[in-house]
Amino acid sequence: MNEFTSFELSRRRLILSMLAGGATAALPSIANSATDFPKSPVKLVVPFPPGGGTDTLARLVADELSKQMGHGVIVENKGGAGGIIGAKEVMRAAPDGYTILLTATGQVIDPIIHRTPSYDILKDFTPICHIGYVPQLVLVKSDFPAHTFQEFVALAKKRPKELSWATSGFGTAGHFAEELINLSSGIDMQIVAYRGGGPALTDLVGGHVNAMVEPLPSSIPHVKSGRLKALAVTSQNRASALPDVPTVAESGIPNFEMPSWYGIWGPAKLPPDVTQKIYQGVKRSLEAPKLKNKLQNLSFVVVAGSPSEFDGFIRSEFKKYSQIAKSTGIMID
């Protein structure tokens, strides 16, 4: 081997060594993209004002999730447009896991009932976790003259267009339940949309509207205090927290079932490893005894569905609510 050949071999070995070293150095930045997540607090957007069912659940989950993730999970209320404003903020956020969304059934319903949808639920978000579901209550003020769901329907039939529903927002599970009760029982009650469950419940307690369908977690304190009374629950079975309150199906509308379900989403293109890390944190939170007991007391049924399971569930719900919207003619310009 001459001097030139020896020099070339040494140079090639040096270059290969440098390339290998560079590739090795680059690997940790890829492999560790979720290893050190989160480095700072995570913002959990709730697209409704404080006081409603979604906000109640989000604050319970955020408290435990902060412990699981090792950094604070801060609830930020972004109410308006039936949940669309907060959802769009998360949709536009960087897909890094630091801005995520906790919301309810309306996330799937909104793009179905708007002639010009603000987002594509199947493309613009990353499903992270199907948290679970909870019964909704058919509520009236404590001094309302009807004491049962059947009496409520009979009174509404005698007073067409006089009585009104409150809803936390158009496109929510409560809104759809009210539409279906109107349709199925043959009553004509106006539906008044609010910027969240909290303000709607306040007006119901104040007597400004006559009735409301609202998830159990946010409404049960008003029932327990005597300010409101529950005439029925919208789930298939009675709620363990209110065992004496019959279901809507028991009360005259066969097969009626419309609970409110909840989930967590991130922006589209959220890295799979970050998605999994958040999901595992949420799953551990839902299994924690303290949170588990609190949710059980609210008749909340935990699902803890994985990202792939949640994606399949969303697609199924999208199909179901599309059919309901078509049959009821619900559409918002």
| Tens digits of residue pLDDT in 180-231 | 999 999 999 999 999 889 999 999 999 999 999 999 999 999 999 999 999 9
For 48, the token pair is 């409704």
CATH 1.20.1280.290 fits 42-134+259-328, yes or no: no
pLDDT band (50, 70, 90) for residue 332: confident
Range list of H helices, the chain: 3-31, 53-69, 84-92, 106-113, 149-158, 173-185, 197-205, 216-225, 272-287, 289-297, 307-328
Give the mean pLDDT of 236-253.
Answer: 96
Q: What is the mean pLDDT of the chain?
A: 90
Instruction: Name the CATH superfamily, with its identifier, for domain 136-233.
Output: Periplasmic binding protein-like II (3.40.190.10)
User: Is 42-134+259-328's fold the same as 136-233's?
Assistant: yes
- pLDDT value at residue 29: 41
Give the mean pLDDT of 1-13.
Answer: 44
Under DSSP, the state recorded for 299 is T
The total number of residues shown for the chain amounts to: 333
Distance CA 138, CA 148 (A): 10
pLDDT for residue 12 is more than 70: no
Q: Residue for token digits 């604070």?
A: 72
Distance CA 191, CA 228 (A): 19
Domain boundaries defined on the chain: 42-134+259-328, 136-233
CB 253 within 8 A of CB 185: yes
pTM score, whole prediction: 0.81
Under DSSP, the state recorded for 140 is E
User: Using one digit for the tens of pLDDT, what is the confidence trace for 46-89?
Assistant: 999 998 889 999 999 999 999 999 999 999 999 988 899 999 99
Backbone Cα Rg of the chain: 25
- Following CA atoms 264, 267, 268, 271 in sequence, which dihedral angle do they give, to the nearest 10 degrees? -80
User: Using one digit for the tens of pLDDT, what is the confidence trace for 47-59?
Assistant: 999 988 899 999 9
Query: E strand or H helix at 190, and its extent?
Result: strand 190-193
* Residue 291: count of CB within 10 angstroms of its CB: 20
Pairing mode, strands 125-134 and 136-141: unpaired
CA-CA distances (angstroms) from residue 71 to 7, 281, 306, 332? 54, 11, 22, 40
